Structure 1
C-alpha cells in the first residue's frame, strides 16, 4: 500500500458542485454518530493497541482521538464565529505540534468524553441552521477561498470518516 493511500484511506475531501439539503443532513448525521463510532472502535483496546499507528511515522490511535477533539473544538468555534460575526478570519493552529503536547499522552477516553459532549452541542446548532446561516462564511488565512458553513459541515463529515478509517487501519495493519 502506498503512503498516499495510508494517509487518505477514504480519499481527499472533494467539494460537491451542488450542496443539497440531503447531502447536508447526511453529513450532520455522520458528525452526530462519530463519537459512538470512535467509542466502538477503541473501547476494547489495551494500552499497546492504543499505541498502534495507521501508517509509519503517523499518529497513534490515541493521538488520532485527541486530534479529533482538538480539531472539532476549533471547528465548533469557527461555526460560532461565522454565525455571530460578519465574515470572520479564523485562526489556524499547528495540529502536528498540538499532537505532541503533554495532554496527548492522556487516555483517549478523556477526549472521547469531550467529543461526546462537543458533538451533542455542535449537532444541536447544525440542525438548527437556516439556509441563510448555511451560506455564512469565514476566511481561513491558509485557503484561497472563503468557506461557507454548509461546506464546512461536509469537510467535517469527511474529517470524521477520514480519522475513523485511520483508527480502523491502525488496528488492521498494526504499525508500531
Structure 2
C-alpha cells in the first residue's frame, strides 16, 4: 500500500478546512449534518455482526466498533467543551488520549447499540444548543493546551460536522471495499 493510498484511507473526505467566511447557511448545514449523524451511522452499522464490527477500516486502524465508540467519546468531549466555552471566559480544556481510550475494554468489546442510543441523545442536544447560539456566542472560545491554540465555537461546529462525516466515510468506504452492501 502506498503512502497516498494510506492517506486516502485515513482521510476519505480530506482534512477539515474552516471556511474563509462563516455564514448562517454554513452553520445551518453543519448543524443539520451533526443532527443527522446518529441516524446515518445507525443505518450503516445496525445489522453488522461481530466479525464486521471488529474489522479495521484500514490496515493498522481502528475497528468499526472502536470508531463508533470513539465518535461518542469525542462528541461528548465536544459537548462539554461547548458548555465550558459558553459559561467560562476562554477556559483551558482537558485533552484526552483518544488512542488509549480506544484500547479500553468497552471500546474493544462492548455492543454498539448503547453507544448508538447515546449518540442519538447527544447529537439532539448538540444540535439544539448550536441552533440557539447568538453571534456573540459563536465567537466564544476555549484554549486547547496541547498546542496552546484558541478554538472558537464557530470553528467547533464545522469541525464536528466534519468529524462525523469523516468517520462515517471510514465505515461506508470499508463496506464498499468489502462488498458488504
Q: TM-score range by the shorter chain?
A: over 0.9
Q: CA deviation at 1:144?
A: 4.9
For 1:10-25, list aligned pairs within 5 A. Answer: 10-25=13-28
C-alpha RMSD over aligned residues: 1.1
Matched, 1:157 2:161: yes
Q: Please, which of 58, 64, 67 is the counterpart of residue 64 of structure 1?
A: 67
Q: Please, which of 139, 146, 149 is the counterpart of residue 145 of structure 1?
A: 149
Higher relative contact order, chain-length normalized (CA < 8 Å, sep 6+):
1
Matched, 1:122 2:129: no
Aligned to 2:54: 51
Q: Normalising to structure 1: TM-score of the pair? A: 0.95
Give the Cα separation in 2 of the matches to 1:68 and 1:139. 21
Aligned to 2:113: 109
Deviations 1:88-124 (A, max 9, x none): 0111100000001111110111211110111111111
Aligned to 1:78: 81
- Structure 1: give runs of 5+ residues left out of the alignment: none
> May I ask how many residue pairs the two structures share in their alignment?
174
The structure 1 segments of at least 4 consecutive aligned residues displaced by more than 6 Å after TM superposition are none
Deviations 1:33-64 (A, max 9, x none): 00000000001211111112110011111000
Q: SS of the residue aligned with 1:23?
A: helix
Q: CA deviation at 1:171?
A: 1.8
